[in-house]
Amino acid sequence: MPFSKLGLAPALLLVLADNNYTRPYPIQQEIIPAILKNKDVLGIAPTGSGKTASYVLPILTQLQHSTAGKNRHINVLVLVPTRELAMQVKEVFHIFNASLPQKVKTLAVFGGVSVNPQMMALHGVNVLIATPGRLLELVEANAVHLSDIHTLVLDEADKMLNLGFKEEMDRIFSLLPKRRQNLLFSATLSQDVNNITQFLLRDPLVF
């Protein structure tokens, strides 16, 4: 099935072609329509599978229909284990955002660098990509609010748990609105990942 049949915003189709995305990878074919139907998703998928575009493309499509919310109240949170992944995900949002009639402001925040520039940059942000510890620091400083989130993505959930972020993740989950869409990606389905999956996902599409 071509990208044009998946229900994505038409403006994305040209950028897909420009970036040599000729056909959807299997994960994209399965997951994109499910995300557009607001379903929860569990994707057991390593790097290289095309998992990033499988959530970035439908999230950008969904945001084309939404109106601007309150300042510093993000709508989409992508939790990642490392600065490297945060920057990679930001780059994928950046590539596809360029073509859209309604631009989506995306920011990546992570520890190990000064927090002040990140606080300032959060102004008007809609999609936040964050490592758990730095996100909590920003929440505690009232630089960002999580009460209007409609989509939560956990990318490389297994790595986040292996790096010891379980407590921070639980704290973040407790701050999110109850009604939301949850998308969880992990290279492996360990017992720990399975526990989070049971806790977070409602009747997910499993890939």
Q: Which is nearer to ligand AMP, 138 or 207 (CB)?
A: 207
d(CA 95, CA 144): 24
Question: Among residues 184, 177, 147, 178, which one has the least CA distance to residue 39?
Answer: 184
Among all chains, which residue has been given the structure tokens 């949850």?
A: 182
Q: Which residue is nearest to ligand AMP (CB)?
A: 52
Q: Which is nearer to ligand AMP, 84 or 167 (CB)?
A: 84
Q: Which is nearer to ligand AMP, 20 or 114 (CB)?
A: 20
Least Cβ distance, residue 51 to ligand AMP (angstroms): 5
Least Cβ distance, residue 1 to ligand AMP (angstroms): 12
Q: Which stretches of the chain bind ligand AMP, using CB under 6 A?
A: 20-21, 24-25, 28, 47-53
- For 144-173, the DSSP string reads -B-TT--EEEESSHHHHHHTT-HHHHHHHH
Residue 118: alpha-carbon gap to chain centroid = 18
Q: Which is nearer to ligand AMP, 28 or 97 (CB)?
A: 28
d(CA 40, CA 143): 28
Least Cβ distance, residue 97 to ligand AMP (angstroms): 15
Least Cβ distance, residue 50 to ligand AMP (angstroms): 3
